[in-house]
Structure 1
Amino acid sequence: MKLNIKYSCGHEGTIEVFGKAEERERKIKWFSEYGLCPDCYKAEKQTEEKSFAEKHELPELKGSEKQISWANKIRKELIEAFEKEKLAIRQGAGDDFADFLNGFVKDYYRKDSASWWIDHREWRTFKKDLLGAAVVAFKAQDAI
């Protein structure tokens, strides 16, 4: 059933609700108290991604508008996930490599091609590429 509602942001729109009457009422109530219209939701996410990029001193991405929008989301998710992994990496690889990795990722995260982030959107691909590049750079510094 499609219903016209007023979102918590004050905008009006149409939502589709299913299920028993109490489930439909719960969903309607949630949208009116907490839900954002699609435009406000999109703007909120873009603000979060921009704030994240500024906090981590990341460059603006290059590409089409759709690529940039998608890649910003991907970049934020991948960086947050990798930052959570650092403790396990420190325990597994040792302090020397972990300390090196902290500096290495700052440059690695600065890739400014939206298509690169899209191509590396899979967690395993991203992590393998990042750690592989870090190991090569770490070994190269020892050879000097």
Structure 2
Amino acid sequence: MTKIFFGDRCMLEVTELPSLTGTEKQVAWAEDIRAFAINEMRRAFDHMRTAKNINDSADLDRGAEFAHKTFAPLFDTKTEAKYWIDNRNTDIRTLAKSL
């Protein structure tokens, strides 16, 4: 199962992503798309953290918990490469809300 947490440098980390299914070419493309989506999520949380000057570990933990609850189900349930390819132009927040 996917784990989302703040790492040592107050950077949102995503680990233990499930493997994607599909053809070799689909999986390679979908992994790139999913990585881009994860980076978008990281940028949004980094912007929020910076804008609100959040550096307190308790606040970071709450932010990571929110990110985990919001986005981990998306990564855990959407394991077909086709899903990521078909939704490559959709914002990750929109994808998470659609679950």
Structure 1 equivalent of residue 67 of structure 2: 101
Structure 2 residue runs of 5 or longer lacking an equivalent are: 1-13, 53-58
Q: Say if 2:93 is the partner of 1:132.
A: no
Indicate how the Cα distance of structure 1 residues 107 and 119 shifts in structure 2: closer, same or farther if over 3 A, else same. Answer: same
Structure 1 residue runs of 5 or longer lacking an equivalent are: 1-54, 135-144
Q: Is the 8 A contact 2:74 2:96 kept in 1?
A: no
**Which of 54, 67, 82 matches 2:41?**
82
CA drift of 1:119 comes to: 1.1
Moved more, 83-92 or 112-121: 83-92
Indicate how the Cα distance of structure 1 residues 70 and 132 shifts in structure 2: closer, same or farther if over 3 A, else same. Answer: same
Question: What TM-score comes out, normalization by structure 1 length?
Answer: 0.42
Indicate how the Cα distance of structure 1 residues 120 and 103 shifts in structure 2: closer, same or farther if over 3 A, else same. Answer: same
SS in 1 for 2:91: helix
Structure with greater helix share of residues: 1
RMSD: 2.9
CA drift of 1:133 comes to: 3.6
Q: What is the correspondence of 1:1-144 to structure 2 with a 5 Å cutoff?
A: 56-88=15-47, 98=63, 99-110=65-76, 111-122=78-89, 125-133=90-98
Percent identity for Structure 1 against Structure 2 = 32
| Number of residue pairs the alignment of both structures matches | 75
Greater Cα radius of gyration, structure 1 or 2 = 1
